[in-house]
Structure formats: structure tokens, C-alpha cells
Structure 1
Amino acid sequence: MADSDSGTGTVSSIGTNRRSDSEPTPLGIYLNDHLAGATSGLELARRAARSHSGSAVGEVLERVASEIAQDRTALLDMMSAIGIPVRQYKIYTGWAMEKVARLKLNGQLLRSSALRTVIELETLRLGVEGKAMAWRTLRVVAERDARLDAAQLDQLAGRARRQEDDLEGLRVEAVRRHL
């Protein structure tokens, strides 16, 4: 499967085409960026679910957060299967980005506002849309790389579409209620 270039140490294979372990491939960069986004999105989804706990909105957000956690695990499993190393600093960056985003002024100094709900739902919706594109991108890669499960990618893309629809419904309702 992998051809080695003599003298350069380069291995030619999807996901592992590199001169050394410290030099990431385009696919490795792409997937680690999506892993950072998944980490940030998971933190946001869990926080949003907690803030709406005990409501119908909270129930939907709890399910979405659980699915995002499963999707993040699936991404990690795929990265492992195709030999993409996890760049820990990207995970930490995603985690920190979500924490910093909480500092955004929203008209309230010490407590949440209605605007925060709208912004959080928009952010989650956009994150899920990005995740859906990543699954579709990997689906194309799966046409050339049997280490990726095309059927699993199709299922993940379908779940992302359902999450998009659910989050969009919550977002529209929040806009009607609060803006």
C-alpha cells in the first residue's frame, strides 16, 4: 500500500505522506483542525445543555451534545486508522477557544442574556455544518483509502444533517422569543 521513497524517508500513503513525524500532512492538518473544532463544539454543547436543563430545549441539546461526543470519538478513531497523529495543542486550543468565547460581551455583565442563547445556537449550528463537510470530505478520501469506512461516513453525515435541522429549529425559536 505505501511506497517508500528511498533516501528521503517519505512514505506515500493517504494520511501518512510525511518527511518525518513532526511534519504534518495536509490531511493531518485538516483533521486536527476539525478535532479542535469538535472539542470546542462539545464544550459549548454541554454548557448550553446545562444552561437549558429541564426544558425541551435542554433535552435536544443534551442529545446533540452526546452525539457530538460520539462524533468526536469517531473522528479520533478514523485519525488513528489512517495514521494521523493527534496534535494535542490543537485540542487544547479548541478547548480554550470555547472558554474565551464566553467572555464576549452580550449586554449582561454577570449573567447570561437572551442574545447569548441565539449566538450559542448559531455557533453550534455552524460547527455541525463544518462537521458535516468534514464527513463528506472524508467520504471522498474513502474512495481511495479502504481504511475509512464509507458507510460509517454516510451515517455520520446523515446524523449531522439531523443535528443541523434540530439546531436550526431551536435557533429560529430563540430568535422569535428573544429578538
Structure 2
Amino acid sequence: MEANLLGIYLNDHLAGATAGVDRARHLARSCRGTASAPAVEEIATEIAQDRHSLTDLMEELDVPARRYKVSAGWAAEKVGRLKANGRLVHRSPLSTLIELEMLRVGVSGKLACWQALRRLSDTEGRLDPHRLDDLVRRAHRQLRTLEELHSQQVTTTFRTPELTGSGAPR
């Protein structure tokens, strides 16, 4: 196994996981009091747990975490919050939609990492295939949940106002 390339690969995923944890927690705070809050909070908790699983796997493989990459992931997530959302003061429904899409991309990347490590577990004794199978299953479940939340948010974000009998929006 090419240890140097694996170290770069896992550190890149650690940077993404760092950004993902912050983004998921931010979205969970933003969704408090909504119907989607429990599902978003569960996803945020699991994403944080998955980041911890990644750091554990890195330790088991003797791959040191590169702090500059972790810091870059953290900073990228903060910069990502500065995007325009069509509102100056209040949170826009578009923000939630975009954040759900960002989490879907991140979870898809995480799934690919778990699948790559699962394949390596066939020849790398330090990797537990059963643990990786569990992580793969969880990532699939997270994607299904995020897809459902995304579908609901599309309707909320782009709904058109109902018209009254006079043709005016309600």
C-alpha cells in the first residue's frame, strides 16, 4: 500500500469532514423549531461521529493529521457562509436548500472514502471490514435522508403564493 498517497487522501477527506461537521451543525442550528430539525440534528451528530471514525482510522494506519489541511477545511466552510442568498438580514430558504446540497456532496465523498477503505481492508489487516461496512451503510442512509430533506426544501423554497379569488397573493 502506498502510505504517502493514502496519507494525502485521508487528510484531504479529513479537511472535508471538518468543513462538513461545521456546515451540518450550522444547518441544525438554523433548522431548530422546524419539522426537519430532528432529522438534520441526527445527520449533524452522525457526521461528527464519522469524522471521529476517520481520525481513529488514520491513527490505526499511522497517518498523521495535517493541521494545515484541517484548518483549510474549517476556513473554507466559514467562507462558504458568505454567499449571497437573496436576503440581507434574515436567513433565506435558499440557504437551507444550498446547505442540504453541500451536505449531500460531502456525504457522497465520505461514502467514496469508506468504500475505498473497505476495498483496502481486503489486504490491510489494520482496517476492520465490518466497521467499514457499517460506515458505508450509514453514509447510504444519510444520503437518503438528505435527499428527502432536499426534496421537501425545494418545495418550500420555490413555492408560489396561493392566489385569492381576486388574483392577489394571500
Correspondence 1:1-179 to 2 at 5 A: 14=1, 16=3, 25-179=4-158
- Shift, 1:110, TM fit: 2.7
Q: Which SS does the other structure have where 2:13 is aligned? A: helix
**CA offset digits 1:90-141 (Å, max 9, x no partner):** 1111111110000011111233211111100000011101101100000011
The Cα of 1:145 is off from its aligned counterpart by 0.5
The alpha carbon displacement at 1:15 in A equals: 5.9
Structure 1 unaligned spans of 5+: 1-13, 17-24
Aligned length: 158
Q: Distance in 2 between matches of 1:55 and 1:140?
A: 39
Distance of 2:35 and 2:141 partners within structure 1: 17
Scaled by the length of structure 2, the TM-score of the pair is 0.90
| Alignment TM-score, normalising by the size of structure 1 | 0.86
Structure 1 runs of 4+ aligned residues shifted over 3 Å read none
Code of the residue aligned with 1:143 in structure 2: it is: D
- Give % identity: 49
Q: Within 1, Cα distance between the matches of 2:2 and 2:64?
A: 9
- Give the conservation status (yes or no) of the 8 Å contact 1:139–1:154: yes
